[in-house]
Structure 1
Amino acid sequence: MVRTVVVGIDGSPESRAAADWAAREARLRGLPLEVVHVWEPVPGPLAQAPMLGAETHQHWTQRIPRETAEALRARHPEVEITEEQRSGRPAEVLTDAAKDAELLVLGSRGMSGFGGFLVGSVGLAVIAHAEVPVVLVRAPEEGAAAGAAEPAGPVLLGLDIAAPDEAVLSFAFEEAARRKTSLKVLHSWNLPSYYAYSLAAGVDPYDEIARQQSEALTEVLASWRQKFPGVEVVAESGMGSAAAHLVEASREASLVVVGRRVRRGVLGAHVGSVTHAVLHHAEAPVAVVAHG
């Protein structure tokens, strides 16, 4: 089966931005792009109304994937693009559509005046359940041209050195290599519980802790630098909130990469607190990579 990049659309400005981003990513990967629109069947009472019925609603919504694909083909003629309309619950349908894909791309909406973004229930549900990387893309600034080039900047990776995962690291390095850009790796840490006791004893171990964390980060990245010698790596280790550091650094990034641990226990799937914060506040597209 041919792998694809899948983009979920709904006709909104943010989904059109996601579709353009997905087309550029498909070109970088040398893969076809599948444009998927989910049609939610009209509830029973409305389905009987002649102007609002199920057939009329489906007829108009069929224009969304068709017109989106036509616009993408005009802007990205080198990419093989297909469109499909499916019916059902959007989160479930999109998660299913991405099962055999390399990547799923969705849009997210800006929250004017709040300095953040709105990741709706569909996006969060897909991210929490999809086992392929999911990228959330913001709508462009008002007045920006459709299909405008992606802003230049490094790929930004948030890394937990206590449990570094190969899937997350591989995705970030490969994205930097495809874009011929650098990779900035951020690791955040907090002071251990014994720190206060050390201060009480007249010893400040801060510098030693910072050195240990930096050396641990360097060690984790050593083999990856060898695997991707063409990728310039900038590694930073600092104390404080991982989410805050990533959101701040996202202003200069072309893509932010974070991980999500796949959980199949009684608590079910969910999105971690750092990933959740980055999704809502990062200023660049965010790739969430599921890992074991």
Structure 2
Amino acid sequence: MTSRAGPVVAGVDGSDPALRAASWAAAEADRRGTGLHLVLVNDDPVRAEFAEQAVRKAESRCTSAFPHVAVTAEVVSGHPVDELLRLSGTAPLLVVGARGLGGFTEALLGGVSTGVAAHASCPVVVVRGDVPTTVGPVVVGVDGSDGSREALGFAFAAAERLRAELVVMQTWREEGLLSVPLPPEDRERVERAVERSVSEQTADFRAEHPDVRTREVAQRGHPVASLTDAARDARLLVVGHRGRGGFGGLFLGSVAVGVLHHARCPVAVVRNARGAS
């Protein structure tokens, strides 16, 4: 996937979830050797003082924890989704919290984070959980589509930066193939075909990232449930924005939305660089 210069961008709103997202973004900026830009989108002039205090609090926390990262911060006026999407046009990565409270009832709530993940021009990481784990693997879902290939490239690079194992998972469902359950011999045949598909999809990336230890998984089941379960103790779960796949059309937008709602770890949603759905 094409990389962009410039700082990682994190949306904040004064809430604890947003502060955790900002801290995650600062750590990622440190790993990438780039800067961090914190943005609080204020749609109410009455809250101007609170907005300034909130963004400076996030800036102070990130600077203290990661003194080598150049942190900048600003308050901008407008609608949170619109402004964050605008910034995604030039950012290499956009980070938001799964939910926000604070003084901004609209800022970085579930609907906003989902909306940003669905429409951003760059990869989006939605930070879930009270304290993101610092151990465990990176998990990525694939299905053979262009979108999942972009996600796979992002996941390999993330695993390399984190020095983490990478679990590459492709799921398949019998009801997507036939209206009746497959006999055991046909089930084994499909599973072997999926295993070959996963190996073929990862081959180039394994050559480019020889230090990344990978584990490839072909699993029968629902993609949201399978990925969520595989990422129970993960440091990051990566999915494509959409996918078409050869096994029942896996990794449509509903899968990305599903893991955003159910996964406990940070979730990265990666759009196809060519903008294809």
| Match 1:8 to one of 8, 11, 15 | 11
Q: Which of 159, 168, 172 is residue 151 of structure 2 equivalent to?
A: 168
CA pair 207-285 structure 1, distance change in 2 beyond 3 A: same
SS in 1 for 2:38: strand
Mark the runs of 5 or more structure 1 residues left unpaired by the alignment: 43-53, 111-117, 142-148, 263-270
Matched residue, 1:187: 170
Distance 1:198 1:288 in 2: 32
Q: Does 1:273 align with 2:254?
A: yes
Report the AA paired with residue 257 of structure 1. Answer: V
TM-score normalised by structure 1 residue count? 0.81
Q: CA 1:223 to 1:139, structure 2 compared with 1: closer, same or farther past 3 Å?
A: closer
User: Offset of 1:64 from its aligned partner?
Assistant: 0.9
Q: Is the 8 A contact 2:151 2:240 kept in 1?
A: yes
CA–CA separation in structure 2 for the residues paired with 1:197 and 1:63:
59
Tell me if 1:32 matches 2:35. yes
Matched, 1:242 2:223: yes
Residue in structure 1 matching 2:74, options 84, 88, 100? 84
Shift of 1:71: 1.9
Pairwise CA distance, 1:150: 4.3
Q: CA 1:226–1:107 in structure 2 vs 1: closer, same or farther (change >3 Å)?
A: same
Distance change in 2, residues 1:239/1:163 (3 Å): farther
Greater Cα radius of gyration, structure 1 or 2: 1
Matches within 5 A, 1:1-292: 2-42=5-45, 54=46, 57-109=47-99, 120-140=110-130, 150-161=133-144, 163=146, 165-191=148-174, 193-194=177-178, 196=180, 204-261=185-242, 272-291=253-272, 292=276
Q: CA deviation at 1:124?
A: 1.5
Q: Identity across aligned pairs (percent)?
A: 35
Aligned partner of 1:70: which letter?
Answer: S
2:256 maps to a residue whose letter is T
How many angstroms does 1:195 deviate by? 7.0
CA RMSD in angstroms comes to: 2.3
What secondary structure does 2:271 align onto? Answer: strand
SS at match of 1:253: coil
Matched length = 254
CA distance in 2, matches of 1:277, 1:180: 27
Mapped to 2, the partners of 1:163 and 1:237 lie a distance apart of: 19
Kept after mapping to 2: 8 A contact 1:15/1:139: no
